[in-house]
């Protein structure tokens, strides 16, 4: 299948292009850029010299529909709301990496402070977390690719929530991200002197991923779930660690909870559950589509601590988008994606 990458000069778009070089079924036939249209992608990114030969073009829906069947949309939030109706009308399937199609209109307006997509478009959007929604994703025309923090947090918490094992008013998530999570654009809070040798919390209690996480947990639980969610910037390029704390409603051991996780994810190739006593680190999944999860029950406090790690650009964005594209194409989810992490 031919695919277009819209926003190919951004960090996640660039990762879609790179990962698809190894994909046996998906061919990149169009790459877009607003600011660099007319240049070759290799002029912007010389490390791709000799590997890609595409000129950057503007994102015109009709032109893209003549070149591709599926579009990966890797634009800042707000821009995909404007473009998706035209892409769908032109006959393209769309995987949107931005937050625009993950929330209700009211939540999007409240948490992103932007004008939401129409009901007509939102009604077509399927939340693209393949481990839980593969059947809905496969026939969809518009996929809302999950956010990076939600991916790590939901994969960490859904087994507990689905089995009704925790007090859903007791959830606390403490999450940390590498700086590539903020994208390529310069900002005062992410330049070198602000990040290097520093560790800071941001968007405390107001992060736009809160309604996304609560919404999915609520749907799977069948009753309202709320959580305290704090995000931090870590002086590293890639990686997310989400540490979740919850009060157990039953007397369970670490071994028993681990067994539930292993059963939940036994047929999910990208979720790896650690053995008892082992906790994952961000390097364990760097540059890969894996989410590694470790956990421990503290019998003194009746709390379980779950640690989930992903690469924000891969399982948190480009890799998960390709996993979704594989489902749309009827391919095994692992097609073109089963790379070992880059540990060093
Ligand atoms: N970074 C991450 O880890 C994750 C990001 N996301 C989401 O995915 C989307 C893409 O993220 P990411 O790749 O990091 O973002 P970047 O900022 O790195 O890239 C976005 C690209 O969009 C293009 N663009 C087109 N029009 C505009 C415009 N008006 N203003 C700014 N940029 C424009 C830019 O390319 P050009 O100037 O060449 O046109 C830019 O390279 C975002 O919505 C982000 O929130 C989701 C999960 C994880
Ligand atoms: C480190 C960092 O700044 N990360 C970004 C992740 C943004 C993102 O992924 O945005 P959407 O999912 O909303 O599109 C943030 O916390 O806002």
Asked if the ipTM is above 0.95, the reply is yes
| Pick among 3.30.360.10, 3.40.50.2300, 3.60.15.10, 3.30.70.2860: CATH of 149-312 | 3.30.360.10
pLDDT in tens, 186-223: 999 999 999 999 999 999 999 999 999 999 999 999 99
What's the average model confidence in pLDDT over 269-275? Answer: 98
pLDDT digits (tens, 9 = 90+) for 115-141: 999 999 999 999 999 999 999 999 999
User: Shortest CA distance to 31 belongs to which of 3, 62, 12?
Assistant: 3
Please report, rounded to a whole number, the percentage of residues in the chain having pLDDT higher than 90: 99
The minimum-distance atom of ligand 1 relative to the CA of 97 is 8
Give me 31's structure tokens: 């790459």
Cβ–ligand 1 distance for 180 under 6 Å, the answer yes
Domain 2-123: assigned CATH number: 3.40.50.720
Q: Where are the domains of the chain?
A: 2-123, 149-312
Burial 264-289 (b: 16+ CB within 10 A, else e): bbeebbbbbbbeeeebbebbbbbbbb
- 11 CA distance to ligand 1 middle (Å): 7
Q: Give the mean pLDDT of the chain.
A: 97
Asked if the domains at 2-123 and 149-312 fall in one CATH topology, the answer is: no
> What pTM, to 2 d.p., does this model score?
0.98
Pairing of strands 291-298, 271-273: parallel
Annotated catalytic sites, by residue?
A: 148
HSE-CB for 326 with a 13 A CA cutoff? 21
Question: Of all residues in the chain, what percent carry a pLDDT higher than 70?
Answer: 100
């Amino acid at each position: 299948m031919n695919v277009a990458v819209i926003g190919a000069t951004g960090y996640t778009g660039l990762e879609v292009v790179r990962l698809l070089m190894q994909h046996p079924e998906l061919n990149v036939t169009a790459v877009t850029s607003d600011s660099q249209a007319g240049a070759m992608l290799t002029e912007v990114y010389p490390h791709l010299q000799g590997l890609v030969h595409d000129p950057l073009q503007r994102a015109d829906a009709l032109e893209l529909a003549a070149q591709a069947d599926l579009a990966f949309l890797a634009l800042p939030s707000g821009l995909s709301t404007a473009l998706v109706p035209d892409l769908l009308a032109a006959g393209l399937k769309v995987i949107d990496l931005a937050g625009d199609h993950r929330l209700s209109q009211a939540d999007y307006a409240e948490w992103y402070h932007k004008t939401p997509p129409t009901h007509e478009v939102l009604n077509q959007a399927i939340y693209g977390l393949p481990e839980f929604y593969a059947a809905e994703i496969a026939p969809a025309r518009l996929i809302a690719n999950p956010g990076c923090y939600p991916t790590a947090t939901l994969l960490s918490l859904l087994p507990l929530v689905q089995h009704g094992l925790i007090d859903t008013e007791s959830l606390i998530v403490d999450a940390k991200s590498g700086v590539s999570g903020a994208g390529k654009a310069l900002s005062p809070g992410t330049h070198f002197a602000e990040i290097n040798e520093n560790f800071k919390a941001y968007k405390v209690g107001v992060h736009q991923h809160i309604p996304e996480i609560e919404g999915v947990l609520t749907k799977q639980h069948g009753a309202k779930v709320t959580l305290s969610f704090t995000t931090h910037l870590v002086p590293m390029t890639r990686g997310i660690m989400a540490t979740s704390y919850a009060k157990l409603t039953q007397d369970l051991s670490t071994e028993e909870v681990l067994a539930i996780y292993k059963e939940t994810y036994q047929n999910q190739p990208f979720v790896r559950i650690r053995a008892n006593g082992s906790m994952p680190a961000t390097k364990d999944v760097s540059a890969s589509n894996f989410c590694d999860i470790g956990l421990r029950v503290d019998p003194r406090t009746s709390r379980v601590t779950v640690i989930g790690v992903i690469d924000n650009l891969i399982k948190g964005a480009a890799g998960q988008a390709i996993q979704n594209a594989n489902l749309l194409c009827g391919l095994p989810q692992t097609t073109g994606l089963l790379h070992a992490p880059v540990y060093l």
